[in-house]
Structure 1
């Protein structure tokens, strides 16, 4: 009789265990449908959970790189706009210098041209001291203040740092956020170092009487203005190349982010159709198991056994 009792107890215990497993399976499937995630905890699939954490870290780093990229692109866009405005002002300065160099212009006309060059010089100084997206010197490198100041003699002087700051674009790639003033405003004329701001300022003064030969000063100034425009064009090319590089790395970052998102979905997201079908199957098995257990438990043999 003890053997029969033990067998009966084992039957109920086994049946109860099987039903609990089925209920747990249906609850897991219901939770996956509700949350949209396969894993409720890392222990469900340690390997998959580890990969998901790795993908999450990579995406966080990518977001930092994206923020850096947006800041650099904003600063380079500002630099590009400022240099274009400088180029427009410089082209006008060349036109004025050409007029002043002509033998048909008199001293009064040259003086008027000199005053307009003074205005262009002021415009160039303002653009050279433009601000970046954080309110710092756009062309002053790491300087928070102005890129250019005026010394005691009234001459423009670069007061920024030697180089612009760089920011990471990810995967070991960096890019400078701008140019320093000397990188596109300083150049040499006949082997003599000079800068565009000084050229325009001195030419304006020469045409207003500071030079014994204003027409000759205008002719000399044309060579310097041409060299300055060439340097500025080179600066624009550098800025444009950096912006194109940022666009390229941004496209790559977007593609990698999409690949990570796809992998995260494959690893951690619930396949709604498949999970719903599995849940329906599990519910049917559970219902059938419960019905079978009820019938077996009510057989007269079990009622008679110990």
Structure 2
């Protein structure tokens, strides 16, 4: 009977000491890592919630990268559109000069040359590339938005620009197709700014053509083109504002997720240090008591 009781005492003491050591090791791990949960079994419900929060953070990171890419494209588009506005403004000044019947052949030739230069600049801007090297105004094409064959400039992109997911089921279109910006209605016919500039330049070089009438007619087209480009600028600004708002909302949600993760999975170092010290004190006392009691024998008790 005594042997069984002694064995039982040793077993219980060993288990108690092992449990205290395990608890101390766990507290030390929590202090060193800052994590309350060292394994999922510590708190299955909390661990499952942390996995959900981790997934939300990963998805938010993807949405943020998409937003950054879309915003970058929109900024490039805004810069390009501003350049287009400058080109149209200068082209209108030249058209007004060309509409003056007092212009002689030399002046008309100079106006034509500058219009050709503006057309070339417009082509360069229309073929701008985004940070990924894709045509900014080419929709989803992998090549240039516009191609030049002789003196003819033709749109070579797709009919639409793909939208980008920026989170919470929201999307934003990062640019425009060339026709959305440069095509306009003139006298019931759809044309583009390249054709208008080209026709005006050619008329100024051809004595058989009434260049004054062509110049006067081009003014309405330039006004329409100006309206199309400035409208695109307004839309671009609204899209950039929408992205900024979504980024702000994402940041707010991200802060909430971070706080919840901290509340669920983080350990308070000060509190953990107090618990560790208490555990180590109990462990030391238990070890000392065990050593003292295990050294006793029946002879010692009789004596």
Note the 1:49-64 alignment, pairs <5 A. Answer: 49-64=47-62
Query: Following TM superposition, where does structure 1 have runs of at least 4 consecutive aligned residues deviating by more than 4 angstroms?
Result: 298-305
Note the C-alpha offset of 1:270.
Answer: 2.0
Q: Distance in 1 between matches of 2:283 and 2:54?
A: 37
Please state how far the C-alpha of 1:279 moved relative to its aligned partner.
Answer: 0.3
> Is 1:230 matched with 2:205?
no
Structure 1's 24 and 265: CA in aligned 2 closer, same or farther, altered over 3 A?
same
Report the Cα distance in structure 1 between the residues aligned to 2:168 and 2:206, rounded to whole angstroms.
58
Q: CA RMSD in A?
A: 1.9
Which one of 109, 130, 133 corresponds to residue 131 of structure 2? 133
Q: Secondary structure at the match of 1:168?
A: strand
Structure 2: give runs of 5+ residues left out of the alignment. none
Pairing partner for 1:212 from 209, 214, 230:
209
Picking from 97, 114, 130, the partner of 1:99 is 97
- Whether the aligned pair in 2 keeps the contact of 1:187 and 1:227 (CA below 8 Å) is yes
Contact 1:121–1:197 at 8 Å: present in 2 too? yes
Distance 1:16 1:137 in 2: 73
Counterparts of 1:1-306 in structure 2 under 5 Å?
3-151=1-149, 154-209=151-206, 212-298=209-295, 303-304=300-301
Deviations 1:34-89 (A, max 9, x none): 22211221111111111111111111111111111111111111111111111111
Distance in 2, matches of 1:64 and 1:77, equals 20
In 1, distance between residues paired with 2:122 and 2:299? Answer: 103
In 1, Cα distance between equivalents of 2:300 and 2:41:
43
Give the TM-score taking structure 1 as reference length: 0.92
Q: Which has the higher mean CA deviation after the structures are superposed, 122-131 or 289-298?
A: 289-298
Aligned length: 302
Return 5+ residue gaps in structure 1 as ranges: none
Deviates more, 1:39-48 or 1:289-298: 289-298
Q: CA deviation at 1:5?
A: 2.7
TM-score, normalised relative to structure 2: 0.93
